[in-house]
Structure 1
């Protein structure tokens, strides 16, 4: 299991449009067989900062996700909205370790 945490910095004038596009991508993503969870969070103090928390069954599932039409559409749409490049990190879960607890 792989947990990816992506920080996205969005220009103020695009915040609502970014949220709409990201929710659409999230809704497509959670239908993928290798994605166990996909959360979208907004910073309470800086509304232009978002965290995407994506839980994948495997590294192969992360690569497959990047090839989906909904991800490619999202990436193309939101890249011009970003104040700076997004930052991503990959983690392995310590707890919970049972994938059913991530759903």
Structure 2
């Protein structure tokens, strides 16, 4: 299992455009067999900051995700309207390892 958290800051004046573009990725990713969870979270103190919480079955599932049409479309649409690059952090679950 692999967890990825992606931080994104949207340029002012582009929130609706971002949400429309990201919805494509959200809906497509949740249908992928290797995706276990995909949540888009908004900072309660800054409407322009988002964190995407993604859980994939494996690193290979994440790589497969990056090759999908919905991911490519989303990235091409949001890259011009975000501030700076998307930042990514990777995690592995702790408590889930004890549950079998």
Task: Assess same fold via TM > 0.5.
Answer: yes
TM-score normalized with structure 1 length: 0.91
What SS does structure 2 have at the residue aligned with 1:96? Answer: helix
Structure 1 match to 2:52: 52
Match of 2:66 in 1: 66
Kindly report which structure 2 residues correspond to 1:4-15, keeping only aligned pairs within 5 A, or say none.
4-15=4-15
Equivalenced residue count is 99
Structure 2 unmatched ranges of 5 or more? none
TM-superposition CA deviations, 1:27-67 (whole Å, max 9, x none): 10011110001000111111110000000000000000000
Moved >6 Å (runs of 4+): none
Q: Which runs of 5+ in 1 are unaligned?
A: none
Q: How big is the shift at 1:82? A: 0.6
Calculate the aligned-residue CA RMSD, in Å: 1.3
Q: Which has the higher strand share?
A: 1
TM-score normalised to the size of structure 2?
0.93
Query: Which residue matches 2:87?
Result: 87
| Aligned twin of 1:33 | 33
